[in-house]
Amino acid sequence: MLRSLWVAKTGMDAQQANLDTISNNLANVSTTAYKRVRPIFEDLLYQNIRAPGLNEDSASYVPAGLQAGNGARIVATQRINNSGSMVQSQNPLDMAINGNGFFAVSTANGVAYTRAGNFMRNDKGQIVTASGNVLLGQSSITSASAGAAGIVIPSKATTFAIGTDGTVSYNLADSTAPTQADQIAMVNFVNPTGLASAGGGLYYETMSSGEAQVGVAGKDGMGSITQYYTEQSNVNVAEELVSLIAAQRAYEITAKSVSASDQMLQKLGQL
């Protein structure tokens, strides 16, 4: 079999995976706090027909060898964690992180992390995500479980506010002084790209991300929290469409390599 057939096959597989990644970015252009993903390519092993620098006559070395490439593949998908634009809302529980860091939420699989700050209250007064995962405060993150109390705003609260440092306070009808419920825990990682994506805007800690570093919003490199705002996706539609067209053209050209190799094999069969 011609080597070009295998090489073209690997190129088509790589471009198909590239198209899948771009399509997923475009599909999540309206997803709150979604972070775009880019594929990283690498070339495959080479067959050394004549190794570079081979001493053929014991007097000199050849300036270049003869190596046959075996195609390409996608070796990783890197998540780009730069912040998306901020959009104002009318929901007092909408929060956006200005800078580094993640919110911590309690799930059935343990503590997860998210940038999506479109929170709401459940029937117990807990601040939760749209999927019902409880937002964790400083007092509950160290002992978080599937049944963590999280941050509770009682039903009798008339108003409540969230400070830039994550402090959640509320007012009761029979009191003029605000009551502090808790302080939202902020978490960061040495390598946020190493977090495992679990869907729903949630990420989990891995060996690649490093251990979770719990801190306070606005301090020690953590981003501050802005109430009444949500962070939008950082996907640039125009950029993704250009990448989509380039990937499509690369796939088509690679497919033509298969056709050319097939025609060459037909010619050989006619000899």
- For 121, the enclosing helix (H) or strand (E) is strand 120-121
CA 131/CA 191 separation, integer angstroms: 26
Residue 100 near residue 191, CB atoms below 8 Å: no
What is the structure's pLDDT at 117?
Answer: 92
Partners of residue 108 on adjacent β-strands:
none
What is the structure's pLDDT at 144?
Answer: 54
CA 196/CA 73 separation, integer angstroms: 21
Q: Is 223 helix (H, G, I), strand (E, B) or coil?
A: coil
Which of 75, 74, 71 has the alpha carbon at shortest distance from 10? 71
Low-confidence stretches of the chain (pLDDT < 70) are: 1, 54-60, 143-148, 271
Q: What is the pLDDT of residues 100-155, one digit of tens each?
A: 999 999 998 889 999 999 999 999 999 999 999 999 998 888 765 545 678 999 88
What is the structure's pLDDT at 58?
Answer: 59
- For 59, the enclosing helix (H) or strand (E) is none
CA distance to 24, 152, 159, 162, 234, per residue, from 183 (Å): 35, 11, 17, 9, 27
Domain boundaries, the chain: 3-81+235-270, 86-231
CA 181/CA 169 separation, integer angstroms: 5
Q: What is the largest CA-CA distance in the chain?
A: 98
Scan for tokens 């949630």, then name that residue: 202
Residue 11 near residue 252, CB atoms below 8 Å: no
What is the structure's pLDDT at 56?
Answer: 61
Alpha helices in the chain (DSSP H): 3-27, 237-270
What is the structure's pLDDT at 270?
Answer: 76
